[in-house]
Amino acid sequence: MSAAGLPQPRPAGSFADAVARARAAGELLVQPRMGFPTVEQMGAGLRAVHDARARTVGTITLDSYTRVGDHGSARRALQAGEDLNGFPIVAHGGQVTRRMIDDAGTGGFAVQVRHGSPLPLGIVQALVDAGLDATEGGPVSYCLPYSRTPLTEAVDAWARSCELLAEQVPGAHLESFGGCMLGQLCPPSLLVALSVLEGLFFRQHGLHSISLSYAQQTSFPQDVAALAALRRLAGEYLEGTDWHVVLYTYMGVFPRSVPGALALLRDSARLAAVTGTERLIVKTPAEAHRIPTVEDNVRALEEAAAAARDAAFTEADLPDDGEADDLYREARDLVEATLELNGDVGRALSAAFARGHLDVPYCLHADNAQRTRSHIDRRGRLQWTSAGRMPVRAAADRGTGAVGAEELLGMLSHVQNTFDRAALEPSAQSSPALRAGHA
């Protein structure tokens, strides 16, 4: 607070306003995931993203110590000049971060803090102190994949964090990471349902500017159908809320060849553009080999923006008749089965996982039932192999649902191999198989 008792000016622009301006201009908003430990490195990264030849928002990705609440180790690493894999916002403190954003000279540039913490209260307070208004995560999506924290503890911590953000930051924005739950092996209906459920959780705890995530997967037509289902379900459950959709460039094993990686990045940008998705989180061709530099990130942002501007549908991109409706109904059944358990969304989420009504395949967290499995079918689509106690239908021809180690490794490398193989065959660069992510 200033001496006059008024809130201090916020150094960063409104995240929700940046999305609204991009939507009004009909342009895809592109965003990196980068984070650097020092003020000098992080500030330079923000300036470079701001100056990229694309419509962008900035990112401050936090380090691993900060994600787990070990701020003492983060401070010691900074003092010793040791490298960190992100920006330790709590160790630096709100005022230092505020000055960094001011000194970056980016004016009203919108910046989001990305972290991965199941217990984010300290991080949220630090970003509020820094004058920022946007972050991401959620009680399920930042707990089950990344921690051993009991889900009930994460739900309580995220409830307090949402309320803090809502009380202290007018127009604060929160993105659900629910559409990225081990996204490379999770059939889309569960990703859609988790995004909507976390959006409802955020709204219940006072936030009214929300984004819903979805991770690009193994099939372009299936992803088109899933994004349509997500928009339809969000329109029903989040009516009256300011929401938009954010797509992630494929989060699994990335192609090792530069041509293959660029083709996958362009595919994600085209997917975002043709489905009306407002924001895209990019990956870079360096992902398979090393931590991307600022220059790597800027090139990826500009490549994605150019691909989105040139995007067009082809017949091969279209989902099967009724595919979007089927995904919508499956996701809606998951949402309804969860909300029936309790009027409080957080308690409903905990109960749904305890009963196996929500169950993420291949997720080893103790609060996940681990009764579901998935497979990639002959057309490249992700399907349920076994559904456990969830109200979804598994493929009838998969027997017990057992997936061996060889098949699992093949699934994990499916997209990498598809795009790398196509990159070696010039005639395949524009083929429907490459665009759809088919084997």
SS3 of 114-164: the string is ECCCCCCHHHHHHHHHCCCCEEEECCCCCCCCCCCCCHHHHHHHHHHHHHH
7-21, 25-39, 254-268: segment of lowest average pLDDT: 7-21
Q: What is the pLDDT of residue 105?
A: 82
Going by pLDDT thresholds of 50, 70 and 90, the confidence category of residue 4 is very low
Pick from 15, 13, 12: nearest CA to 278: 15
Q: What is the pLDDT of residue 142?
A: 97
d(CA 145, CA 141): 7
Q: Residue with structure tokens 């079918």?
A: 377
Q: To the nearest whole number, what is the mean pLDDT of the chain?
A: 92
- C-alpha of 426 from chain center: 32
Q: What is the pLDDT of residue 400?
A: 52
85-94, 99-108, 293-302, 323-332: segment of lowest average pLDDT: 99-108
d(CA 350, CA 179): 18
Question: Over 60: is that where the pLDDT of 434 sits?
Answer: no
34-43, 183-192, 354-363, 418-427: segment of lowest average pLDDT: 418-427
Q: What is the pLDDT of residue 132?
A: 96
Question: Over 60: is that where the pLDDT of 157 sits?
Answer: yes
Q: What is the pLDDT of residue 203?
A: 98
Q: How confident is the model over 297-321, as a mean pLDDT?
A: 93
Q: What is the pLDDT of residues 328-385, one digit of tens each?
A: 999 999 999 999 999 999 999 999 999 999 999 999 999 999 999 999 999 999 999 9
Q: How confident is the model over 231-247, as a mean pLDDT?
A: 98
Residue 146 Rama label (left phi>0; alpha psi -120 to 50; beta)? alpha
H or E element that contains 268: helix 258-274
Q: What is the pLDDT of residue 217?
A: 96
Question: Over 60: is that where the pLDDT of 432 sits?
Answer: no
Q: What is the pLDDT of residue 1?
A: 41
Residues near 162 by Cβ (< 8 Å), separated by ≥ 6? Answer: 174, 201, 202, 205, 206, 207
Query: Domains of the chain, with CATH numbers?
Result: 15-317 (3.20.20.240)
Q: What is the pLDDT of residues 387-411, one digit of tens each?
A: 999 999 886 545 455 677 888 888 8
CB 135 within 8 A of CB 112: yes
Q: What is the pLDDT of residue 401?
A: 57
Question: Over 70: is that where the pLDDT of 8 sits?
Answer: no
Question: Over 70: is that where the pLDDT of 429 sits?
Answer: no
Residue 277 Rama label (left phi>0; alpha psi -120 to 50; beta)? beta
d(CA 104, CA 12): 10
Question: Over 50: is that where the pLDDT of 439 sits?
Answer: no
Q: How confident is the model over 68-92, as a mean pLDDT?
A: 96
Q: What is the pLDDT of residue 435?
A: 47
Question: Over 60: is that where the pLDDT of 433 sits?
Answer: no
